Amino acid sequence: MMNNTEALRLRPPRHRVSGRAVWWWTTRSLVVVLPTIATPAVSMIFVDVQPARMWLLIVTGTLALLGLLVTVVMPQWRYRVHRWEITDTAVYTSSGWIWQEWRVAPMSRVQTVDTARGPLQRLFGLSSVTVTTASAAGPIEISGLDHTMATEVADQLTESTEATSGDAT
């Protein structure tokens, strides 16, 4: 925790998300990649024209290679980048894998704190915390937190926000 007299500055947050987030991101990727690969692969069954079958095979192979690359690389990369930290004065996040983003939201700007758990997140025991601020950049989301940790973070943010003077505008 930093004290209230320390200036806010953009810096890397300290905490990593849960290690189970890697499996969550991998599963989410497979949910998109597998049907994308299956579509041209299954189409080859119904196409009798040899040149068309060859093109469908090329498309299937290309999609499979790209899908495998994304499914293997993206979750590991995101895990290395995704970080978060809550202090007495601000919320710090770092996220992304191709486009990376660091954000700092002063407690005085926090308007709402929400938690969410989709079906895959529940499967992996994870949650997301969304911090809505008075920023035009939109809300800050901390995804891939252990469910218990997400609840603690939401509670801490709510308490800190209530204790911070200002009108969050």
Ranges 3-12, 25-34, 40-49, 149-158: which has the least confidence: 3-12
Whole-number mean pLDDT of the chain?
90
The Cα–Cα gap between 88 and 142 comes to: 17
Residue 6 in tokens: 């320390």
- How large is the average pLDDT for residues 42-58? 92
pLDDT-derived band of residue 17, with 50, 70 and 90 as boundaries? very high
The Cα–Cα gap between 30 and 7 comes to: 43
Q: Cα 118–120–126 angle (5° rounding)?
A: 75
pLDDT at position 41: 94
- The predicted-structure confidence for 70-98, as pLDDT tens digits, reads as follows 999 999 999 999 999 999 889 999 998 88
Residue 3 has pLDDT above 50, yes or no: no
Residue 6 has pLDDT above 60, yes or no: no
pLDDT at position 137: 83
pLDDT-derived band of residue 134, with 50, 70 and 90 as boundaries? confident
pLDDT at position 135: 81
pLDDT at position 48: 87
pLDDT at position 8: 61
pLDDT at position 88: 87
For 50, the 3-state DSSP assignment is helix
Nearest to 83 by CA among 3, 27, 145, 131: 145
Helix (H) / strand (E) element for 91: namely strand 90-95
Give strand pairing partners of 140. 131
